[in-house]
């Protein structure tokens, strides 16, 4: 099992890295640890370092790795869900505020690892929904009520693919 040790140093095991490499079809970049796993123990979300080993800023803190879950999220993106979510930000002030809080949470956690000196988080936050994969990964990593669009996408997946959801993200609910 992996996680982050108290010093904040990466703790991904070599087995974790090999599995994520297989899932992505390439070596993982900046991988620190596995944050969530599916029902069989395979990684679903990894936490990445704010900078890649070569020093390049990498603002995506949580990265979705499970191939089937990536496919389902891609399906939602291709159906226009991100556009609909972004449109709702302009008319739903409560939703917009929850999304701004998700952005601030994301920045605070990333900056605690290593400040990048930017207010850019990931996935279009806080003004639009640009990458649903980021939001799903954020929700899985942090749990419900942190990222409203990640929660919503996971709810849609659970409704449309009810037999797969418990295997892909057990305990999220």
Domain count, the chain: 1
173 falls within a domain: no
In terms of pTM, does the model score above 0.85?
Answer: yes
Judge whether 160 lies within some domain: yes
Question: Residue 1 above 80 pLDDT?
Answer: no
Decide if 9 is inside a domain. no
Q: Give dist(CA 162, CA 82) in Å, integer.
A: 21
Asked if residue 2 belongs to a domain, the reply is no
**Is 133 contained in some domain?**
yes
Tell whether the model's pLDDT for residue 140 goes beyond 80.
Answer: yes
- The CA angle 95-98-102, to the nearest 5 degrees, is 135
Residue 143 lies in domain = 14-168
Between 140 and 173, residue with greater pLDDT? 140
Q: Is residue 124 part of a domain?
A: yes
Contacts of 154 (CB under 8 A, 6+ apart): 136, 139, 140, 165, 169, 172
Within-domain flag for 92: yes
* 8 Å CB contact between 15 and 34: no
Residue-wise pLDDT tens digits, 5-26: 444 566 889 999 999 999 999 9
In a domain, residue 136? The reply is yes
């Amino acid at each position: 099992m992996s996680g982050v040790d108290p010093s904040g140093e990466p703790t991904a095991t070599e087995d974790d890295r090999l599995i994520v490499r297989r899932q992505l079809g390439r070596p993982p970049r900046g991988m620190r640890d596995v944050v969530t796993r599916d029902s069989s123990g395979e990684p679903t979300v990894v936490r990445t370092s704010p900078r890649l080993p070569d020093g390049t800023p990498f603002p995506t803190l949580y990265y979705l790795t499970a191939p089937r879950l990536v496919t389902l999220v891609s399906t939602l993106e291709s159906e226009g869900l991100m556009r609909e979510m972004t449109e709702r930000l302009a008319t739903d002030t409560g939703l917009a505020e929850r999304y701004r809080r998700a952005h601030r949470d994301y920045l605070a956690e990333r900056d605690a690892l290593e400040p990048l000196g930017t207010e850019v988080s990931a996935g279009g936050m806080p003004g639009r929904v640009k990458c649903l994969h980021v939001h799903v990964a954020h929700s899985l990593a942090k749990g419900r009520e942190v990222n409203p669009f990640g929660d919503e996408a996971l709810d849609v997946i659970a409704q449309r693919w009810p037999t797969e959801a418990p295997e892909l993200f057990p305990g999220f609910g």
